[in-house]
Amino acid sequence: MKKVKLGVLVSGSGTNLQAILNACKKSSYPAEVAVVISNNPEAYGLIRAQKAKRLSIIISHKDFETRESFEKVLHDTLKEQKVDYVILAGFMRILSPFFIKKWKNKILNIHPALLPSFPGTHAIQQAFDYGAKITGVTVHFVDEGTDTGPIILQEALAIKEGTSLKKLEESIHKIEHRLFPKAIELVSKKKIRHVGRKIFLGRS
Ligand code: GRF
């Protein structure tokens, strides 16, 4: 089986990267991590990549004068590694239309809330502070808006009365680590269909 090549972008601890690396260990899994790129030289995600014997590259945005020149190197590096899909696994840089247009329907992101509720950063805390009764996790394609792209998978989670923020974060991350590899599998196997902005599951 020819595996789909993933380029995983991280900025931090990389627990989602780890879940993807673990899923990729199965011979039946349709994708493999071709490269892990971090804009943050200190990201623990880089160590995870090295431990899994995956190519890891630091491209620090601080070394570039403009967002576009940073993204040009990012794009060229992903192309050099023959990446099919770009996976945002806690990547803390906003990608501009310059990059997003080049990878239309090829960038997946995970968001720790049920979009379109609570987009942007600190989504778990936002839902918790708001007093939402239900939150969850969304995996979506990235478009030019902030967390507005077509939704691939979502899973809901009830926020029980008296739950602490810490407990909620743990429960959300547990879902993320299951949902992201599942969404990547569906996309890699082409078991999704774009109908306008909607994604239908089932072979295209
Ligand atoms: C996750 O909560 C993800 O939803 C968000 O950033 C966090 C990354 O965590 N986009 P990790 O680096 O994968 O541990």
Q: pLDDT tens digits, residue range 127-171?
A: 999 999 999 999 999 999 999 999 999 999 999 999 999 999 999
DSSP 15-75: HHHHHHHHHHTSTT-SEEEEEEEESSTT-HHHHHHHHTT--EEE--GGG-SSHHHHHHHHH
In this structure, the answer to whether residues 122 and 31 fall within a common structural domain is no
Question: What is the structure's pLDDT at 167?
Answer: 98
pLDDT(1) > 90? no
Asked if residue 51 and residue 7 are part of one domain, the reply reads yes
State whether 180 and 161 are in the same domain: yes
**Which ligand 1 atom sits closest to the C-alpha of 137?**
4
Say which CATH number the domain at 198 has: 3.40.50.170
Dist CA 56 CA 37 (whole Å): 6
Residues 152 and 115 in one domain: yes
CA of 113 to the centre of ligand 1 (A): 11
* Atom of ligand 1 lying closest to residue 89 CA: 13
Across the range 192-198, mean pLDDT stands at: 95
Q: Which of 61, 75, 111, 140 is catalytic?
A: 111
Active site residue 111: yes
What pLDDT is recorded for position 134? 98
What is the mean pLDDT of the segment spanning 81-86?
98
pLDDT category at 204 given cuts 50, 70, 90 is: low
Based on the domain organization, do 8 and 96 belong to the same domain?
Answer: yes
Q: What's the CA-to-centroid distance between 20 and ligand 1, angstroms?
A: 12
The whole-number average pLDDT for the span 82-106 is 97
- For the CA of 43, the nearest atom of ligand 1: 12
Q: Tell me the whole-structure pTM to 2 decimals.
A: 0.97
Residues 117 and 73 in one domain: no
Which of 57, 87, 103 is at the close of a domain?
103
100 to 8, 117, 128, 195: CA distances (angstroms): 15, 22, 31, 20
Q: What is the mean pLDDT of residues 74-98?
A: 97
**Is the per-residue pLDDT at 73 higher than 80?**
yes
Residues 26 and 97 in one domain: yes
- Counting the structural domains of the chain, the total is 2
Q: How many other C-beta atoms can be found within 10 angstroms of the C-beta atom of residue 182?
A: 14
Name the closest-CA residue to atom 14, ligand 1: 15
